Structure 1
Amino acid sequence: MSTVADKLAKKSTRKTGGKQVRLRLVYVDFWSAVKLSFLGAVALAVVTMVSFFLIFLVLQATIMASASEFVAKFSDGTIVLTEVVGLPQVMAFAAVVAILNLIVFTVLGAVIAGIYNLAVKVTGGLLVGFMSN
């Protein structure tokens, strides 16, 4: 079975100074893909938590007082914005977002690995070339 990648590999007649190696990626291990996507999702969760914290601190230092006064005018003082949008509430929301992202990205990594393994049967896989100088 000849693929487009094989035809392109045969067409390259240019001589190079280094040794060339062509490898074909024909299988992605399912559990390795799940573990790798989980680790990436954990890193993204940490970044999410830190970024929510830093954004909250910046907003609190810059516009939280004026926004609280603005909301108090419309609600006749019944809603205090600093109580509704405090650090515990923001960090709880960030934790929920981080956990949902962790689950979604881990499942997405598993699904992509499965789809790639099915697509390899049709396409023949990815042809990757390496060259040493």
Structure 2
Amino acid sequence: MSNALAQKLKDKLPKSEPKAPKGPEAKQVRLKLVYVDFMSALKMSFLLGLAQFIVVVVGTLLLYLVFVQTGIFETANSVAGEVLGSNSFDINSIASIGKTVGAAAAVGVVNLIVITVMGAICAVLYNAAAKITGGLSVGFTNQQ
């Protein structure tokens, strides 16, 4: 009985035909990168530097808040007081939230400038090297 039922179910399934290829096969193309636009490299490196700036400032702020919530600063104050022999040491006066985020912003701005300038320098150096060597060979394929 189950064989007959299985045969009836198989008969109701649509017949699968061998699939024909859907269009042309993937075509491979080899190209040479002989020029990097200076302004494109400058814009891209600026955006990467800006992303780095945001990550540094937000990361520093979050770490500072975690340190405050977990009581690390109070522990550091007590350890420093024991080592120095006086309880007048206060890490919060040195590392307040404003000073900490301000220092992180200053470091982020310096990194932003350095990353932007380095991106521009890399574009100029690549263009000079591509004139000498003919560029970088890159292979592409067209897949659908």
Tell me which interval the TM-score lies in, with the shorter structure as reference length.
Answer: 0.7 to 0.9
Matched, 1:57 2:65: yes
Structure 1 residue 126: Cα displacement:
1.0
Structure 1 residue 75: Cα displacement:
5.6
Structure 1 residue 65: Cα displacement:
1.0
Counterpart of 2:36 in 1: which secondary structure? coil
Counterpart of 1:21 in 2: which secondary structure? strand
Question: TM-score by structure 2 length?
Answer: 0.76
Higher radius of gyration, 1 or 2: 2
CA distance in 1, matches of 2:96, 2:128: 48
Could you tell me which residue of structure 1 aligns to residue 16 of structure 2?
Answer: none
1:72 counterpart (72, 77, 81) = 81
Equivalent positions of 1:10-21 (< 5 A) are 17-21=25-29
In structure 2, stretches of 5+ residues that fail to align are 1-24
Question: TM-score by structure 1 length?
Answer: 0.82
The one-letter code sitting in structure 2 at the alignment partner of 1:38 is: F
Change (3 A) 1:100 1:75: farther
Structure 1 residue 64: Cα displacement:
1.4
In structure 1, stretches of 5+ residues that fail to align are 1-16
Q: Deviations over 1:57-76 (max 9, x none)?
A: 12222321110111223161
Could you tell me which residue of structure 2 aligns to residue 128 of structure 1?
Answer: 138
Could you tell me which residue of structure 2 aligns to residue 93 of structure 1?
Answer: 103
Matched, 1:112 2:122: yes
The one-letter code sitting in structure 2 at the alignment partner of 1:112 is: C
Identity %: 42
CA distance in 1, matches of 2:80, 2:95: 12
Counterpart of 2:30 in 1: which secondary structure? strand
RMSD: 1.6
CA distance in 2, matches of 1:110, 1:79: 46
Structure 1 residue 29: Cα displacement:
1.0
2:31 counterpart (23, 31, 43) = 23
Could you tell me which residue of structure 1 aligns to residue 15 of structure 2?
Answer: none
Q: Deviations over 1:4-45 (max 9, x none)?
A: xxxxxxxxxxxxx41111221101111111111001100110
